[in-house]
Chains A and B, each alone.
Chain A
């Protein structure tokens, strides 16, 4: 798609980077980013971001599982802590 001449509102003598054309270009880039699993290959993360990010399918899945795991751990911690609390002795 030739985005430079995409908009009929950009006149023949105007710069190719007129506001409307720029908006089209950004929208197209956004659509490309949000295309889905087949677009995961375009992201080249390194380190921990390779497994935990909000762009690739795997990254998003791992973030979700990590969030649920953290909540489960917090709940488990408070449950176990309340059992260990000794009862108040009568004086």
Chain B
């Protein structure tokens, strides 16, 4: 068990060809589009869900910020569906790869920050110094605020990677422990199995929450800059 603990995080290959592209594109097959006025149940449910999320998330934004609605809705759908599909046994979860999460976080954060600097240069620069700071603390606080700005995309990516990876590892370990305990002590194995069930339920929640948190934070960075 120990030697293949991290086997599920290795990017899958088939005959030397990477399958990652197919895996990343796969969730889009689960969200069909339709140009009919009255849709079937699946598409109606999908549209209802998208409307709920977009209303809740985009209501705080100005007109300029609301141009990002499509981007943010695609983001939450992608991360949510990828995380949930990763909970299937023996599947590969692209969001466990830090490279992929950095590839999502850095461009979105940079886009929001550059938009802010282009449209509200004075306010964006003034944002580095909290209002009412005592004079002797000004240089230190400017440096701290600059560092905290540049930490944002890293924190976004690492938060998603760590949460999903930790959850998968825990499921793997507790599942392995349950199997090992079956032949030793059935009662303990049963308790471990119940813990595994509860952990799986938790992981379902974490998968959706992390998608929401990632998108919400990008939305907040955009709100600060528009």
Contact = CB atoms under 8 A, between A and B. Distances in A.
Contacts of A55: 131-132
Nearest to B140: A67
A67 B142 CA distance: 7
A61 interface: yes
B143 A67 contact: yes
- DSSP majority for the B interface? helix
Q: What interface size band does chain A fall in?
A: 10 to 19
Contacts of A65: 125
Contacts of B126: 57-58, 60-61, 64
Contacts of A68: 142
A46 to B, nearest CB: 15
A65 B138 CA distance: 11
Given A67-B139, A70-B139, A54 B133 contact: yes
Interface in A27-68: 33-34, 37, 54-55, 57-58, 60-61, 63-65, 67-68
B138 A63 contact: yes
A54 B123 contact: no
A49 to B, nearest CB: 9
Contacts of A70: 139
A2 B122 CA distance: 35
B142 A63 contact: yes
Given A63-B138, A67-B139, A67-B143, A54 B129 contact: yes
Interface in B42-70: none
B128 interface: yes
A61 to B, nearest CB: 4
A37 B135 CA distance: 20
Contacts of B138: 54, 63, 67
A54 B135 contact: yes
B131 A34 contact: yes
A60 to B, nearest CB: 4
19 contacts: A34-B131, A54-B130, A54-B133, A54-B138, A55-B131, A55-B132, A57-B126, A58-B122, A60-B126, A61-B126, A63-B142, A64-B125, A64-B126, A64-B128, A67-B139, A67-B143, A68-B142, A70-B139, A71-B143
Given A54-B138, A58-B126, A64-B125, 17 more contacts: A34-B131, A54-B131, A54-B133, A55-B131, A55-B132, A57-B122, A57-B126, A60-B126, A60-B128, A61-B122, A63-B129, A63-B142, A64-B142, A67-B139, A68-B142, A70-B139, A71-B143
Q: Top 8 closest A-B pairs, CB basis?
A: A60-B126, A67-B142, A54-B133, A60-B129, A61-B125, A64-B128, A61-B126, A57-B126
Interface of B: 122-123, 125-126, 128-135, 138-139, 142-143
Interface of A: 33-34, 37, 54-55, 57-58, 60-61, 63-65, 67-68, 70-71
